[in-house]
Amino acid sequence: MTTAPADTAGPLAPAYGDKVIAVETAGSEPIPDAERHGSPLQLLWTWASPNIEFATVYIGVISVLFFGLNFWQATAALLLGTALGALTQGVLSLDGPRFGVPQMVIGRFSFGRRGNLLPSGVNALVAGVGWFAVNSVSAAFALNTLTGLRPLPSLLLVVVAEIAIGFIGHNFVHVFEKYAFPALAVVFLLAGAWTFKDAHLGGGGSGGGVGGFLLAFSTAWGYAAGWNPYATDYSRYLPRTASRLKTVLYPAAGLFVSVAIVAVIGAASATIVAPKDVTPTAAFTGHLPGWLGDLTLLAIILGGISANALNIYSSAMSMTSLGLRLPAWLSRGALVVLSGIVGTAAAWASLSDAGAAYEAFLLVIAYWVGPWLGVVLVERWLRTRTPDEELVRRLGDRSFTNWPGLTALLLGVAVSVPLFSNQEKYVGWVPEHWPAFGDITCLVGFAVSAGLYAAIRRSVSAERK
């Protein structure tokens, strides 16, 4: 199979290969066969390490404390939501070896060249500003608790490390996640065992009911599926001959197991009474013995850095996927630094009320991912019989349009958010009249966009015959 033409000026450096300490020069252009390397196994730890961190813990915490579920109800909602997000992560990863381009470039099939500017731009902001801020704040609080260093200097130390990893690029990110994985897994399993020892798993919730369950489910799905727009960013260097089964299995397993275990630990920790007026990270580690509490804080720092290495890298990938003719100095590495500066400013602004900001962010993130994913999965199904040569041509065709995709995406958001969102500052019409619905915005957005896109595409195809 041939590859699509490059998006950016200048050839890919042929000497990058599998070098670790070398700055990656590739942007959104297809990775040549000569540069392909690695195996699907590396996707296991690449998607596990970033989720063994405090942001994942907090999904479980808010399911009990804020959504009113007991431990077992929260666990069911968390496992179900995570499983769905992990499954699509594996499926989308398949297009990495096939086309050799970032996930947001694959989006041109669904939205056309110009229409894809919107989801690519949104993903760049969500990854490089939203998620970068969330994970930097949790790591900064952990460093503050561990050392007594004030929050702002703690934040600056964390973001420097995150930006450096993303700047070096693809191979270094994979290797960093590989060596972070065993350390993170051991510490969080120890902390989890201690947490379950002290937890009150049989305690009743505060009456979250079906609404609370749907809120927890949406939060878990939004968190797991929030990685979907990054999927091929980390599989695009794999050889075309890479096992399809393993390319699906390893990222799905890494994402599901890590999020499921750590979020359930968070739900258990929420049943333990914590002192008032402590930071979220201090509340999580407060019941642990001193040595384990310190190790857990170190792991929270490492986990936050692991997650943001991917966030800031994929933010830059999304910006290169816009297809704009950028000046030569504004390379992928420079975009990483730019994204890091903006994300650091957002993290600084949220230091004073991190818990409330994170709860709202987790729900809002699914508001756009649900409709986007609905269109992308339907398009992926519709193009199963399209010859590879034609698909490659579409990726490189600057005139290619697909207005049904963008239309379905926008209508999915327009229908689901006003009617079904359930936020502190805005309650949609449905939960206002029937609170038991909780917040099913992401589900409705997914269903509406997927259904509309399938219907419009079918109608357009019929007219052309």
Q: pLDDT tens, 22-50?
A: 999 888 999 999 999 999 999 999 999 99
Chain mean pLDDT for the chain: 89
Structure letter (DSSP) for residue 232: G
Q: What mean pLDDT comes out for the span 169-184?
A: 96
Q: How high is the pLDDT of residue 111?
A: 97
Structure tokens given for 27: 């942007």
Structure tokens given for 137: 């704040």
Most confident of the ranges 15-19, 24-28, 434-438: 24-28
463 pLDDT band (50/70/90 cuts)?
low
pLDDT of 258 higher than 70: yes
Q: Which of 46, 39, 38, 44 is nearest to 17 (CA)?
A: 38
Residue 118 burial class via C-beta count within 10 angstroms: exposed 0-12, middle 13-18, buried 19 and up: middle
388 pLDDT band (50/70/90 cuts)?
confident
Q: What mean pLDDT comes out for the span 103-119?
A: 96
Residues 6+ apart with CB under 8 A from 396: 4, 5, 7
Q: How high is the pLDDT of residue 149?
A: 92
Q: How high is the pLDDT of residue 358?
A: 60
Q: What mean pLDDT comes out for the span 130-149?
A: 88
439 pLDDT band (50/70/90 cuts)?
confident
Of the chain, the percentage scoring pLDDT greater than 70 comes to: 92
Structure letter (DSSP) for residue 17: T
Q: What mean pLDDT comes out for the span 66-94?
A: 95
Residue 307 burial class via C-beta count within 10 angstroms: exposed 0-12, middle 13-18, buried 19 and up: buried
3-state SS, residue 327: coil
Of the chain, the percentage scoring pLDDT greater than 90 comes to: 63
pLDDT of 216 higher than 60: yes
Q: Which residues of 45-72 are buried (b: 16+ CB within 10 A; e: fewer)?
A: bbbbbbbbbbbbbbbbbbbbbbbbbbbe
The more confidently predicted of residues 446 and 325 is: 446
Give how far Cα 127 sits from Cα of 124, 355, 361, 408, 436, Å.
5, 19, 12, 23, 31
Most confident of the ranges 13-27, 72-86, 361-375: 72-86
The more confidently predicted of residues 193 and 203 is: 193
Q: How high is the pLDDT of residue 9?
A: 41
